[in-house]
Amino acid sequence: MALRSEQGHGPTSSRWDGGAEKADFNAKRKKKVAEIHQALNSDPTDVAALRRMAISEGGLLTDEIRRKVWPKLLNVNANDPPPISGKNLRQMSKDYQQVLLDVRRSLRRFPPGMPEEQREGLQEELIDIILLILERNPQLHYYQGYHDIVVTFLLVVGERLATSLVEKLSTHHLRDFMDPTMDNTKHILNYLMPIIDQVNPELHDFMQSAEVGTIFALSWLITWFGHVLSDFRHVVRLYDFFLACHPLMPIYFAAVIVLYREQEVLDCDCDMASVHHLLSQIPQDLPYETLISRAGDLFVQFPPSELAREAAAQQQAERTAASTFKDFELASAQQRPDMVLRQRFRGLLRPEDRTKDVLTKPRTNRFVKLAVMGLTVALGAAALAVVKSALEWAPKFQLQLFP
């Protein structure tokens, strides 16, 4: 009788546990939505809190919230759209034919099942957005993959607001990709291997021996992974993260993907073709929240300033988007995305450890580097919760966003 009783309670217990987990999830989600709206309704807007919400687990949760928060993260006045050009841009633009070809090939970027007429209308809007931004900013040069970023904004916020957001993004986060040459894009890609080397020198050395280079990550970087991820939910989750962070965060996220796939890479034949083929096929079932947390931790541990010499000493720092980022700040140093991440990381440390140099690791000590991976893994799960509750600072946000 006892055995039958225990067996009988099993499914009921499982259902109860599942119901409790769902209730807990819904409660956390409801709390986060309330915190986001509180930050939006603050006077002035609490942009630092919005950054934390965008970085923390689940990101901004819904497209409705993104339509309100993304403009704040980019310091764009959602009520002041760019003027419509009176010119026939399709006839005048030197990029029109290439843009047209790329947009026609973008069918899979639209939701499955969308009526053909609606999709075609959105594709026309996509062309118009791109041509208008290029016409208003002649210093920008179109690149293949740009449309993958623009279509994400179009689908989330609509044509009018997407134009404003992507224009700001193009002159800041994406600026390096829109140069006449790919020199600065290559420079950013050159950060990938130093990050991997800091965390996993064995994997780094294997990839160096295979001479795989970094070209496999090019489409990841210049489309913010929009071109390579099939699930739109994952794309917008990453956009929440990237918009709230430093312009170089996508390369850190690329690094954590490679690090996550360590064993697959090491099991490959050590040649360029094999390793490139593996890495260019990005898995669709990645643990995105864990990787986002780890990318943030690695940015704090190994900031771009420490990797710059290894990435490319010959590149002038003022030519990269990172140099324009200071001008793009919304307010005081506490508002900076890297400060948000650093505060999160420090919140995970014991008080007695906070004065220690835990963020940098000597490159000559490979055993220490391996320990960093353990630290990052340990911090990853906790970091998501800490972002929400353990930041013990109050941003002094005095800037009037829309005078």
pLDDT tens for each residue of 299-309: 999 999 888 88
% of the chain at pLDDT higher than 90: 62
Check residues 331 and 149 and name the one with the higher pLDDT: 149
Report, as an integer, the average pLDDT of 115-124.
94
**Most confident range, picked from 302-311, 335-344, 354-363:** 302-311
Cβ(73)–Cβ(54) under 8 Å? Answer: yes
The CATH number of domain 62-171, selected from 3.40.1550.20, 1.10.8.1310, 3.30.930.10, 2.60.40.420: 1.10.8.1310
Give the per-residue pLDDT at 144: 93
Cβ(136)–Cβ(171) under 8 Å? Answer: no
Dihedral, CA of residue 192, residue 197, residue 202 and residue 208, to nearest 10: 50
Give the per-residue pLDDT at 342: 58
Confidence category of residue 358, pLDDT binned at 50, 70, 90:
very low
Same fold, 62-171 and 177-333: no
Report, as an integer, the average pLDDT of 322-328.
48
Residue-wise pLDDT for 16-73, tens only, equals: 566 777 788 888 899 999 999 999 999 999 999 999 999 999 999 999 999 999 999 9
Report, as an integer, the average pLDDT of 133-146.
95
Dist CA 253 CA 298 (whole Å): 9
Give the per-residue pLDDT at 90: 85
Q: Domain residues of the chain, as ranges?
A: 62-171, 177-333
Report, as an integer, the average pLDDT of 100-123.
92
Cβ(289)–Cβ(243) under 8 Å? Answer: no
Give the per-residue pLDDT at 107: 87
Is residue 383 over pLDDT 90? no
Give the per-residue pLDDT at 1: 39
Rounded to whole angstroms, what are the CA distances from 237 to 95, 187, 291? 30, 26, 12
- b (16+ CB within 10 A) / e for 270-292: eebeebbebbeebeeebebbbbb
Give the per-residue pLDDT at 24: 80
Give the per-residue pLDDT at 91: 82
- Token pair 């600026």 is found at 175
Is residue 249 over pLDDT 70? yes
Is residue 10 over pLDDT 60? no
Check residues 198 and 336 and name the one with the higher pLDDT: 198
Cα angle for residues 105, 92, 221 (degrees, 5° grid): 40
Give the per-residue pLDDT at 366: 39
Is residue 185 over pLDDT 90? yes
Is residue 346 over pLDDT 70? no
Check residues 167 and 322 and name the one with the higher pLDDT: 167
**Most confident range, picked from 214-228, 307-321, 325-339:** 214-228
Confidence category of residue 340, pLDDT binned at 50, 70, 90:
low
Cβ(212)–Cβ(275) under 8 Å? Answer: yes
DSSP per residue, 326-373: HHH--SSGGGSHHHHHHHHHHHTS-GGGTTS--S---TT-HHHHHHHH
Cα angle for residues 78, 83, 84 (degrees, 5° grid): 120
Is residue 363 over pLDDT 50? no
Cβ(300)–Cβ(372) under 8 Å? Answer: no
**Most confident range, picked from 323-332, 344-353, 365-374:** 344-353
What CATH number does the domain located at 177-333 have? Answer: 1.10.472.80
Give the per-residue pLDDT at 20: 75
Give the per-residue pLDDT at 200: 97
